[in-house]
Structure 1
Amino acid sequence: MSSPPTLPISSPQANISLGGQSQPPIATPAFRAFISRFYESVRQGFSQRRPWLELLDRTSFARPDSLTESASRIRKNFSYFRVNYLTLLASVLALSLLSHPFSLFVLLCLLGSWFFLYLFRPSDSPLVLFGRTFTDRETLGVLVVVTVVVVFLTSVGSVLISALMVGLGIVCTHGAFRVPEDLFLDEQEPANVGFLSFLGGAASSAAAAAAPAVAARV
């Protein structure tokens, strides 16, 4: 007597590929690495912030005698309170965008376009819109043009510039009137650290995470 025929067994992976499901529109490992590194850099930066009560100590405020003294105070206070100042700038920017929902929506769409259509899109997955296939160079060119138009020719740019000007005004005013004689940088922290060193650290970590995805398209 002959044995019954053996039924073929298909693996779940084969079923997925035969089911017609395509790759995800974004390279999740690279995106997760980007978010993880950026979050870790921001967390480490916030751990270096100074106490807010020290920032708002009324007994340490005095009018500067000259512009030279104001510039010296601002430079010293920037070195000491740089993380606090960046937090103030980010807060003013966030409040400004929240008060302009349309600008916030457009900015989020622009950032999402860069992330999903270029930076973290799989290099072997071409972009197809309206029945046309776009190369990486064409996608980059379109995104650059759209970014320039959105930032410089719409209300988004004015909202961002206004918020940054207000934030810088608050920071410079505080730095000019805050007497820095009682401020001492940590020994392991150089006194000439720039105001944007914390932001630069976060940006460099984010760039390092996004570098493999960008290099694959060059």
Structure 2
Amino acid sequence: MASPPTIPISSPQSEPIATPAFRAFLSRLNTTVRHGFAQRRPWWELLDRSAFSRPDSLSDAVSRIRRNFSYFRVNYISLLALSLALSLISHPFSLIILLSLLAAWLFLYSFRPSDQPLVVGGRTFSDREVLGILVVSTIVVVFLTSVGSLLISAVLVGLAVVCAHGAFRVPEDLFLDEQESNNAGFLSFIGGAATSAAAAAAPAVASRV
């Protein structure tokens, strides 16, 4: 007996959450990161053993650290990022929690269109309620779990390595333009990425205020 013909049923597919805004965010962030890494110094210059010596005093060590920060800032940020990455990879549960928290901020608040309210279990949440839940969740994750201590310890280890290198690396052979030295601080690379990310997310966030 022949089976009755099957009637095709098409289910509506949900559109990606703020795809243009999210793509703009990724594009600007990618551009900023590429520009920052273009300023990276050669690693062999960072690890030149002949350029290491013990500082004469604490003030000499601080002076070396400041000059080396200005010159090797992108390399130092890479070392800090490596320290964070190794710590998170060695603790997969903490990594999953942080990625989930970041995804919640991006897709539930920053890049969710203001005309698409969040509905969970038949209840509609306002933007203020979503923001409050995300803020409380972030505080709980960072300050009331082991994730916060893991991040702090990883940053401290990275800073210790960076400061030790900056104190013992003799900067006399480093040629840093005065303008670059004055305008580009140790966190300028991070600041540029944060500015680009904020600029990309501003339209979505401003519509909720």
For the criterion TM > 0.5, the same-fold answer is: yes
TM superposition shift of 1:188: 5.5
Which portions of structure 1, spanning 4 or more consecutive aligned residues, are displaced by more than 6 angstroms? none
Measure the CA separation in 1 of the matches of 2:183 and 2:104. 38
Is the counterpart of residue 171 in structure 1 residue 162 in structure 2? yes
TM superposition shift of 1:129: 1.1
- Which of 172, 175, 178 pairs up with 1:184? 175
- Give the corresponding residue for 1:57: 48
Is the counterpart of residue 48 in structure 1 residue 39 in structure 2? yes
- Which of 111, 120, 133 pairs up with 1:129? 120
- Which one is further off, 142-151 or 127-136? 127-136
- Give the corresponding residue for 2:129: 138
Counterpart code for 1:110: L
1:89-168 to 2 correspondences below 5 Å? 89-168=80-159
Contact persistence 1:127–1:135 (CA under 8 A) = yes
Structure 1: tracts of 5 or more residues without a match: 1-18
- Give the corresponding residue for 2:3: none
TM superposition shift of 1:21: 2.9
- Which of 207, 212, 215 pairs up with 2:203? 212
Measure the CA separation in 1 of the matches of 2:45 and 2:181. 20
Measure the CA separation in 2 of the matches of 1:190 and 1:166. 26
- Which of 61, 72, 76 pairs up with 1:81? 72
TM superposition shift of 1:146: 0.3
Q: Does the residue aligned with 1:190 lie in a helix, a strand or coil? A: helix
Counterpart code for 2:79: L
Measure the CA separation in 2 of the matches of 1:163 and 1:190. 28
Contact persistence 1:38–1:206 (CA under 8 A) = yes
Measure the CA separation in 2 of the matches of 1:34 and 1:20. 30
Measure the CA separation in 2 of the matches of 1:20 and 1:213. 28
* RMSD, matched Cα: 1.4
Measure the CA separation in 1 of the matches of 2:66 and 2:166. 8
Q: What TM-score, normalized by structure 2, do the two folds share? A: 0.92
Q: CA deviation digits over 1:42-67, x for unaligned, max 9?
A: 00000000000000000100001111
Q: Does the residue aligned with 1:128 lie in a helix, a strand or coil? A: strand
Structure 2: tracts of 5 or more residues without a match: 1-9
Number of aligned residue pairs? 200
Identity of aligned residues (%): 73
